[in-house]
Every structure is written in structure tokens, then in C-alpha cells.
Amino acid sequence: MPEPKHNPNPSKIVDPPRWLRWFISKRVLGPFTSGKAIEKRRRRAEAERRKRGEPHVVEYFHQLDDPYSHLTAQVLATFAERYDIELRYYLTRATGGKNQPELEKLAVWARRDAALIAPHLGLAFPEQAGTVPDTNHEHLAGRALANKKDAAFIERVEVISRALWSGDEAALIELAEDGGSAADLDAALDRGSAQLAERQHYSGATFYYGGEWYWGVDRLFHLEERLRELGACKRPDLPFVAPRPDVDVSDLDASALRLDFYPSLNSPYTAIVFDRTIALKDACAIEFHHKPVLPMIMRGLPVPLPKAQYLLFDTKREADFEGVPFGKVVMPVGTPTRRAYSLLPWAKSKGRDEALMSALLSHAFAMGVGLHKTSGMRRAVEAAGLDWAEARQVIDSDEWKPVVEQSQKEMVDGLGLWGVPCFRVSGPGGESDLAIWGQDRLWLVAAEIKRRVGGEN
């Protein structure tokens, strides 16, 4: 079965009654997907800052054993120098728990992902680095940073992080001599972790400014854009410190390659990348396999409310950046997902499964149409160019279950990934498959396709 027999998540969250589905979508999550609400919060934060006479204070949370923190350390000094900000740092521990339920898998993925993206961003990640640094080396690096003033941290964190991830013990010993004690490190980690928790977040390599979070080099350009709008950029003539690479596979023939795509109907991130993924595969003629999986919460993985709110807010700004409609949301978790997936084998037989998934996602996440209602499901089906009378004959069948179960096994057990959307690039013969996670990695999918067809290294 694609769903666990005993889902640890509350049944009212996995399968919300109508009133709760409306309340969660509109009142609990809605303020995080509304452009007007976001702008209002930003204006209020700026007005309060001015009233207090404070500078633009940006808090940065550095997790020593986090590969993304190592990448962020390499741009921190440039970012701090280029913007009229006061940058305050915190050392923090991995959160774990419900916010990071697959902590060991996350460590493996983060190490792999950081190494994949680094060269494309003009950054470096040591090839010999392990999944996490040596514990003793991490302790030395922490001591070297624990008692640093903000300016000294910004100046030294890249050198210390490089020594840590490259395993340069001699350098770390020397750097730690100018640092704090073990007690200083514990106090700094306690302080930073408490601040992270108080701010209701869970990841290292994150920036906090004016009520909003920005994750590492991947989201730094959003913060840069906001600071520029506030007139806090010293060199607006220069490009972003960490710009998002382009997605471009035009004029490529990737027909010898294969792309497996693992989306989910209840995933906001899937909603804003689905059509762009279809456009990418159409542009380069790559062999394409569409393999929907169930939402995390229906597979038994927790999604705490603060995390869900952040993910929706993050999706909104990513959607705005990409020019993708998003924001009017009625979450289709539970029965709507099962009913929608029951239509996919039929839609595939008509060559319309991609069109159906696209319509379902746009109705749920951009048009505010409740797929838990028969009228909403009908609207999506007909928008995909399918006949509702035919759909009614096959909806609620079980044909989809073994197909989705197989896709989930491929993604989780085969690729070692659990969130969505995921991608797998395969071919040509002799090349190892490359698994990639996240809508913000579509550019990396494009870069990998280019490399494999000889268009670009």
C-alpha cells in the first residue's frame, strides 16, 4: 500500500473535514501566500525599524556540520560589505525532530547537493569531505568561532569552515587557540539554538530579517532584492552576490537521456515547478517519465505548522520570482489526492496525465478551487481536456495504488530522497544516474542535461 497502515499524523490533518480544510487553507496558511499580506508585514517591519532608529539588522545562523553553511560562509563577507546592514551571527545545532524527521538522510543529501551546486555558483566544496566533519574537528572549529565578535566572525568564518570541511587539523588547532573554551562553545550553541527556536525556524545557513527567513545561497538573492528595495545596497550597479542560475536547454537534443520526475499533488513546490518541468522536457526532447508520489504527510512524515507556513511563504516568493501564478490555495491532502490519483492511469491512457496533473495543481494552488468538492474535481478534469462523464466511471478505482507505491519505493529507497519534487537524470550508457531534489534545482537539471549531451561542462 502507498500509505502506511498506521499513519502517526492525526487523521484530521491527513484527511481534514471540510470546515477544517477551509480554515487551514484560508486562515492558518492563507496569510503566508497572500502578496498583499506579505507586503503589509514588510511595511510594518520597516516602519517599526525606523521608529526605533535601528539599522538593518540581519541575523545569520551558522551550523558547523551543515554543508549549506559552508557554502554560505564563502559569500558572507561579500554580502556584509555590499549592503548597509548590521550582521549578527549565531552558532546553532541541528534541529532534528519533527522539523527534520530524516536527519541522517538529510545529512547525506545535503553533502551531495552542496558539492553539486558549488561549482555552478563559483564556490568550492572539498571533494574529500565526509558526510559530516570529524567530531573533534567540529569542536575545534566551534571554539575558533565561539567568542568572535560579529565583524571577526564574518572575516574568519570562511577560513575556519574550509579547514573544518577539508579536515585540516593543524590549522584548526591553531585557529582554536585564538578562540573560546569548550564552555564558551556550548554557551554559544545554546544561545544560537534558542534564538532559532524562538524565531520558529529549524535550519542552519539561514538569514532572518524583518520577520522573514532566507535559506543560504539559494535564497540570499531574495534578501538582496528586499534590501535593494529599501535602499540598503551600497553597490546597486553590481549583480546579486548569489544569483539564481538560468534554466535553458534550448537547441539541445537530449533524446538519448531520460528524466524521471517525482511530483506530489499536495506539494506547493511541485505546483510552481510542474509546468516548467514539462516545458524543459519538451524543449530538449528528453525521454520523460511522470511518477507522482503521495504527499509526505500521507506517507507518515510530519509537517509541523510553523514549517508548513514557512514553506508556503517561500513558495510564494519563488513563484513570484519565476512569474508563476500561486497563492489562492485549498490544500488537496487526503481524499482529494487519492481521487485525483485514481484518474491518472485513465488520463495516461489518453496521453493526458501530465495535463491532468497540471490542471489539478493550478486549481488547488493558484485558483483556490477545492478538489475535495466534486465540482472542483470536475473543473480540473475538464480543464485538462478530459471528459467528466468518462472520469466518473473510473474515479475511486485502486489501479493507481501499485503504480504510486512503486514510484515511492524508487524515490525513497532507490534515490534516498523523501521530499518532493525530485528528479532523476539518466544516460547515456556508462553515466551514473543523478538524483536531484527540489523545485529550486530545476536549473541544475538543465545544467546536467547540457553536460551529458556535450553542450556545457
Model confidence over 66-92: pLDDT tens digits?
999 999 999 999 999 999 999 999 999
Domain ranges of the chain: 34-229, 258-452
pLDDT for res 457: 47
pLDDT for res 37: 95
Residue 45 has pLDDT above 70, yes or no: yes
User: Would you say the CATH fold of 258-452 matches that of 34-229?
Assistant: yes
Q: For residue 396, what are the β-bridge partners?
A: none
Those residues whose C-beta lies under 8 Å from the C-beta of residue 429, and which sit 6 or more positions away, are none
CA 96 to the chain's CA centroid: 16
CATH of 258-452, one of 3.40.50.720, 1.10.760.10, 3.40.30.10, 3.40.50.300: 3.40.30.10
| Strand extents, DSSP E, 99-254 | 206-209, 212-215
Report, as an integer, the average pLDDT of 199-205: 93
> What are the tens digits of pLDDT across the range 382-410?
999 999 999 999 999 999 999 999 999 99
Residue 134 has pLDDT above 60, yes or no: yes
Residue 375 confidence class, pLDDT cut points 50, 70, 90: very high
Residue 292 has pLDDT above 90, yes or no: yes
222 neighbors 214 (Cβ within 8 angstroms): yes
Question: Angle at CA 162, nearest 5°, toward 159 and 246?
Answer: 105
Q: For residue 424, what are the β-bridge partners?
A: 260, 435
Report, as an integer, the average pLDDT of 309-314: 94
Report, as an integer, the average pLDDT of 281-287: 97
pLDDT for res 101: 76
Those residues whose C-beta lies under 8 Å from the C-beta of residue 230, and which sit 6 or more positions away, are 46, 56
36 neighbors 64 (Cβ within 8 angstroms): no
Architecture of domain 34-229: 3-Layer(aba) Sandwich (3.40)
Separation in Å, CA 392 to CA 84, 332, 395: 60, 19, 5
Residue 176 has pLDDT above 60, yes or no: yes
What average pLDDT does the chain have? 95
Residue 303 has pLDDT above 90, yes or no: no
Pairing state between β 422-426 and 258-262: antiparallel
pLDDT for res 456: 53
Pairwise CA distance, residues 321 & 72, whole Å: 21
Pairing state between β 206-209 and 56-62: antiparallel
Biggest distance spanned by C-alpha atoms of the chain: 75
Q: For residue 290, what are the β-bridge partners?
A: 261
| Of 47-56, 242-251, 316-325, minimum mean pLDDT range | 242-251
What pTM was computed for the model? 0.95
Residue 51 has pLDDT above 50, yes or no: yes
Report, as an integer, the average pLDDT of 103-110: 89
Report, as an integer, the average pLDDT of 428-441: 93
37 neighbors 312 (Cβ within 8 angstroms): no
